[in-house]
């Protein structure tokens, strides 16, 4: 098979397409013939050398969609459409940047769909993250207000779509004024320009603050996001777009408003019930939710795809189709 192997940490050019043996089937694992996979920022961090536990060379890729080639347990039949997400994929063992991958049974999700593979490839990890952050971490309810910090990211865009679908009022942020229309077209009720603080502008719209904040920029804006919630509100940090990992000065009684809640979401396949992916795919097929796919690359364009992701030019998910 052809596989895109990350030879060592470094710039996108450290990824090289090589001939590799198709992984051998074993008990408890499923061999998948890959049709497409989404690109993820965590793969970019890993490639840059920020994942100390990942040993190179490694076939990266924390998600994929494709068809079952072999499953000794008989749970899935040959040719059945499936997605695989996380569980150490592309990090502890070889992942989705290849024509075939061997993954544990537990991280396989079956689905039926006539949507193109390039569309299906954008879904699994993005949906797992958005659904887990909104419904499990933030426990969003119809009628609530939600601030999405880092609104133009693919996670931010889909979160807006899902939140609108669930009946919330959404305020999305971007640093770039030129992207304002884009966020409105995606369904945001309000757009705020983020220069590091948006709490004052937000309080002009919602004097008491919002019910929930999905924090995708991370540490850099976290304290300001805590200033955006109303009494009993909640902030969930899911992303780290700002690139900072540690909050140096943090005074819980002061930085967290009284009765406010702070949580994080670090998604895993286990957070997604088997039927939820199918429901989401059906909502896309029925036109109830539209995905933002910025670009679909061919497999031999993997270096170009990583370079593009690193440029921050994308306005939506990047997908590679095999
Ligand atoms: N917790 C989990 O389970 C999980 C799973 C998947 C992803 N994530 C995280 O979720 C976040 C979003 O991922 P994604 O793939 O959706 O991202 P993405 O689509 O690549 O995000 C691109 C956007 O991020 C914004 N951005 C880039 N650098 C920034 C900076 N230094 N400060 C503020 N904004 C910046 C830019 O927005 P503007 O130019 O418009 O401001 C850009 O349009 C990432 O941090 C990712 O690691 C978490």
In this structure, are 96 and 9 located in the same domain? yes
- Ligand 1 atom having least distance to the Cα of 126: 6
Judged against a pLDDT cut of 90, whether residue 48 lies above it is answered with yes
Segment 82-101 mean pLDDT = 97
In terms of residue numbers, what domain contains 67? Answer: 2-123+291-321
Q: Where are the alpha helices (DSSP H) in the chain?
A: 41-48, 117-120, 124-131, 154-165, 180-185, 199-205, 219-226, 252-255, 274-285, 302-310
pLDDT of residue 15: 98
Check whether residue 134 and residue 114 sit in a common domain: no
Kindly state the average pLDDT of the residues 77-88. 97
CA distance 274 to 106: 10
Which is the closest atom of ligand 1 to the Cα of 45? 47
pLDDT of residue 315: 80
Q: How close is the Cα of 218 to the center of ligand 1, in Å? A: 9
Do 112 and 163 belong together in one domain? no
pLDDT in the model for residue 39 = 97
Q: How confident is the model at residue 314 (pLDDT cuts 50, 70, 90)?
A: confident
Contact status, residue 160 vs residue 188, Cβ threshold 8 Å: yes
Residues recorded for the chain: 322
Nearest one of 204, 42, 69, 188 to 129, comparing CA atoms: 42
Which residue from 43, 51, 151, 153 has its CB within 8 A of the most atoms of ligand 1, so it is best to mutate?
153
In a domain, 279, yes or no: no
Integer Cα distance of 119 and 163 in angstroms? 20
Domain count, the chain: 2
List pLDDT tens digits, range 154-189.
899 999 999 998 999 999 999 999 999 999 999 999
Pairing of strands 100-104, 169-174: unpaired
Asked if omega into 57 is within 30° of 0 (cis), the reply is yes
CATH number of the domain to which 206 belongs: 3.40.50.720
CA of 91 to the centre of ligand 1 (A): 20
* Residues 243-295 pLDDT 10s: 898 999 999 999 999 999 999 999 888 888 888 899 999 999 999 898 989 99
In a domain, 75, yes or no: yes
What pLDDT shows up at residue 316?
86
The tens digit of pLDDT for each residue in 4-18 reads 999 999 999 999 999
- Residue with CA closest to ligand 1 atom 5: 129
Any domain includes 282: no
Q: Whose CA is closest to atom 23 on ligand 1?
A: 153
């Amino acid at each position: 098979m052809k596989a895109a192997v990350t030879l060592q940490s470094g710039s996108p050019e450290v990824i090289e397409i090589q001939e590799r043996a198709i992984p051998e089937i074993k008990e408890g694992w499923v061999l998948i013939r890959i049709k497409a996979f989404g690109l993820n920022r965590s793969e970019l961090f890993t490639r840059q050398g920020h994942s100390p536990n990942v040993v190179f060379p490694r076939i990266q890729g924390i998600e994929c969609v494709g068809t079952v080639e072999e499953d000794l347990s008989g749970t899935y039949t040959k040719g059945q459409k499936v997605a695989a997400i996380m569980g150490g994929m592309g990090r502890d063992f070889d992942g989705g940047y290849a024509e075939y991958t061997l993954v544990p049974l537990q991280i396989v999700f079956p689905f039926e769909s006539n949507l193109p593979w390039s569309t299906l490839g954008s879904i699994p990890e993005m949906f797992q993250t958005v659904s887990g952050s909104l419904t499990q971490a933030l426990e969003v309810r119809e009628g609530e207000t939600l601030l999405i910090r880092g609104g133009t990211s693919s996670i931010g865009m889909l979160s807006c779509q899902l939140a609108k679908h669930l009946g919330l009022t959404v305020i999305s942020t971007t640093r770039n004024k030129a992207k304002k229309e884009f966020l409105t077209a995606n369904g945001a009720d309000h757009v705020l320009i983020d220069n590091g603080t948006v709490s004052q502008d937000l309080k002009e719209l919602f004097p008491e603050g919002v019910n929930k904040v999905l924090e995708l920029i991370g540490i850099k804006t976290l304290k300001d996001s805590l200033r955006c919630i109303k009494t009993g509100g909640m902030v969930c940090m899911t992303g780290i777009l700002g690139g900072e990992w540690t909050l140096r000065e943090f005074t819980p009684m002061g930085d967290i408003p009284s009765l406010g809640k702070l949580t994080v979401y670090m998604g895993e396949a286990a957070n997604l019930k088997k039927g939820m992916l199918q429901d989401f795919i059906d909502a896309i097929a029925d036109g109830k939710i539209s995905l933002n796919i910025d670009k679909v690359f061919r497999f031999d364009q993997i270096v170009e795809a990583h370079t593009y992701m690193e440029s921050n030019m994308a306005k939506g998910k990047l997908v590679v189709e095999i």
